[in-house]
Structure formats: C-alpha cells, structure tokens
Amino acid sequence: MKIPLFVVAAATFVLAAAACGGDGDPESVATPVPGSTATTTSGPSASSGVRDGVPADASLDPTVVLPAISAAMADAGSWQVHAQMTVNNDSDAGERLLLTTINAARSGPGVNIVFTSSNATTGSISGSTSSETRIVDGTRYRRDPNSGEWTVSDASDASPGLTVDVAVVEQIDVSTTSINVTELEGEEVFHVTGTVPGADAAVTAEVFAGVGDHLVRKIRLEGSAPPSNFGGLLPLSDTLLPQIVEAYYLEYGRPIEVHVPPAIEEAENAETRTYLSTINPYTMVVPGGLRDAPRTEFGGEAFSGTGGEMLFIIEEYLDVETAYVGELAGKAPNAETYARRFEIEIEKSEVYEIVSNEAFITDSGLEARLIRFTESDGDIQWAHLSYLHADDFGFGATYGAFTGRYNEIEDAIFEAFRSFEIVD
C-alpha cells in the first residue's frame, strides 16, 4: 500500500550516536542530504580580519577552532541529525554489504532519541532490522528490533563509544588536525580534518562547521569495524570491514521533548491501544488490531492491520516564517491554514484528489481540520487530521485503506482522531 509522499516532512532531530554499538544498535544519525559538495578555497581567505572575535592569525588554529565548535554546539543544546552508514567488503571491489540510516534527536545533554534501520546483502544472505533507543534522565530505553519489547538500563553503564556530535570534535587529535575554509551547500565552512586516537571506526574524521557560527553542518568518519558490530546481519569473522558514516546536522535549538516509552500494559487482544508520540506531546487511541510496522521516517509510526489500512502519524515542525508562502502569505497560522498547507502539498503530488477539508473538534476540545482525499485511481481513500500547536508546531495523522475496507473502518478512524490530545 502506498503512503502519501508528502507525509515524509516528519520532523527529524538528532543526537550523539556511536558509529555502531556492539548490539547492532548504531546510536548515531541518519540519511545524508543528497547532492552536498565541498569545494576547497585557500586557507588565507579565513584569516582576513576578525571573525567571531577570533584574531585573523588564529582563525585556522585547531586549538582555537575546535573548542569554538564544541562551545557553539553546547550553546545550541538541541539539534537534528540525518546520517547514513555504509559498510563494504574488504576487497578492492568495495562491494556494499550493509546500509544503515539513522535518525536521531538531541534535546539537551544526556537526553536523546535514535532510530536506526539497516539493510544487508552479502552473498546469499540478506536481511534488515530496525531499532530504537531513548535516553531520558540517565535511563536508557531500547526497543528490541525483533520482539518490539522495551528494555531499561542505566545509561551511565553503557560503554562510551565514538559519537557523531560534539564528542567527536573533542576526540580529534589536535596534533593531526588541519583546517581550511571550503564551501558546503553554498555556505562558507571550516573543513576540519584529523584522526581519533584508538578508534578503528574513525581512522579519519572530517568536520564541516559554519564560519559564522561554528555550528556543525556535516561530519564524515571513515574507518573499519568488525562484522559482530552489525546485529547478526553480516557473517561473523575476524576481518575488519571498511565503513563510512556521513551525518548532516540541522534544526539547532528547536524545543523538543523526548518521552519515556509508555508502559506496555494493554492486553494483547485489547480493542484499543494508546499511542504516545515519539517526540511531540500528544496521544491518540488506536484500534488494538493495528500493530507497529517498521518506521519509515523519523517521528513517524506506521501501524498495519488487515484490509490494507494504515495509520501514519506525522510529527512535523513548521517554521511559520517560511511555511506560509504563496496563497498563505500574510495569513495567521492556525489549524485551518496548516491544513490548507498540507492540502497544497497533496495537490502538488498529482497522485491524490481532495474530497473535503472541514473543521473538526477533538474530545479534548482541540480545534483541528479533517482532510479527506483519495488516490487518483480511487483504490485507496485517506483521512488526515491536522492540528497546529503553539504557532509553529504542526501535528498530523493519516489513516487510509482500500476503498471497500475504508468504509468499514471509518468510524474507528474518527474515534482515533477524536481521541487526539496534547499532553504535558
């Protein structure tokens, strides 16, 4: 069953993450932004004048730039990361054996959430897995990729690993570091190149940080790791496999709350289950017959059942200064304009047709909009709930089914939407 392509605007944030943990849970970042290129300019261009209070003759000094990057990241407090880890075989051919995407969010020191999704193909062996880890108030929660059950441990007990965030900057050996100024996505950035002592996973490390604000835009690690690091997806051997991690950073300083996973106390055959959003503060009651399906986007949860129905929950962050353009320019952000923005995205796809966009009040009294649409061929019908919270946080949930089945579950869809509630 297809899911609306526009739905993938789900909010993504990221946190520090190990290049790959021993349990196959790479606590890192996720998908790289396509098309990023860096072109080197001459080093002296960074030393003309004073930049951010750094004297010209020290602007490319690692002992100045690296601490400035660490300080800027600490001041930002929270951010998103999209990263990708590629593991190749050890031959000259460099065949890709495993691809892992990681989406994560950091809301402050020691508070973060990481999703990973891995796909492996090696010889006659192929497989995939996904996992989720949250750290809140010093406690580590990990969802088993096979059983879906949560385990709880003391986060301080976890062995320290190479992390794709501020920590990697602090681990770079200054004596091996060189810095010049390059261009990344049209922006002037410091290009830091160095090594991390004692870390096979980062024989070389590259950090790209804004010249104006010292915030990290990209980190690239290149090194190696044993097959045992990858959760049984690769045949075990003593050979270290080449791996590359590329992580992109964005959404600095966005408020974010990482929730403790809800207790799984509902009976297996319960008619309904409570869904607590991954990050943003809301809950919904979903039919008990729906079970978690693999995540497709950070902050989104898919539930699958019989008859082709699916609930895709969106946790979308809206920047009202840029989101309301075109016909929405100058209009106040509210549930109606948020829904219209969502509707515009649907119309742009040329795959869907709008049936209606109507006001909807949840049982908790929240004003929302209910958008009904169908695929152009009419095979699948959809209902989407749009809600805007605090002027710049938009939430939504999309429910769809093959047309015949949709009519059967329509009441259940609206009951789920009516249960939508903001929680503290």
pLDDT digits (tens, 9 = 90+) for 48-58: 434 444 444 44
Q: Average pLDDT in the 289-316 region?
A: 59
- Rounded average pLDDT over 243-265: 78
Query: Which of 51-65, 348-362, 402-416 is most confident?
Result: 348-362
Query: Average pLDDT for residues 137-142, to the nearest whole number?
Result: 86
**Chain centre to alpha carbon of residue 233:** 22
Percent of the chain with pLDDT over 70: 72
Least confident stretch, 145-159, 237-251, 371-385, 393-407: 145-159
* Helix (H) and strand (E) counts in the chain: 5, 22
Predicted model pTM: 0.67
Mean pLDDT value of segment 326-349: 89
Instruction: Identify the architecture of domain 262-266+273-422 in CATH.
Output: 3-Layer(aba) Sandwich (3.40)
Residue 298 is which amino acid? F
| 66-84 average pLDDT score | 89
pLDDT at 402: 83
Q: Output 401 or 232, whichever has higher pLDDT.
A: 401
What per-residue confidence (pLDDT) applies to 419? 92
CATH number (1.10.10, 2.50.20, 1.10.3470, 3.40.50) of 9-250 reads 2.50.20
What is the distance between the terminal CA atoms of the chain, rounded to a whole angstrom?
Answer: 34
The conformation of residue 6, written as its DSSP 8-state character, comes to G
User: Given a cut of 90, is residue 284 above it in pLDDT?
Assistant: no
pLDDT value, residue 98: 85
- 9-250 with 262-266+273-422: one CATH topology? no
Q: How confident is the model at residue 164 (pLDDT cuts 50, 70, 90)?
A: low
| Sequence spans of domains, the chain | 9-250, 262-266+273-422
Q: What is the pLDDT of residue 235?
A: 80
Rounded Cα distance between 130 and 145, Å, is 5
Residue 63 banded pLDDT, cuts 50, 70, 90:
very high
Query: Does the pLDDT at position 124 exceed 70?
Result: no
pLDDT value of residue 6: 25
Better-predicted residue by pLDDT, 13 or 166:
166
Question: What's the mean pLDDT when you consider all of the chain?
Answer: 74
- pLDDT higher for 72 or 228? 72
Residue 355 has a CB neighbour count (10 Å cut-off) of: 13
- List, edge to edge, every strand of the sheet that includes 178-184: 38-40, 178-184, 187-194, 204-210, 216-225, 241-250, 79-88, 96-108, 111-122, 125-136, 139-143, 150-154
How large is the average pLDDT for residues 28-53?
36
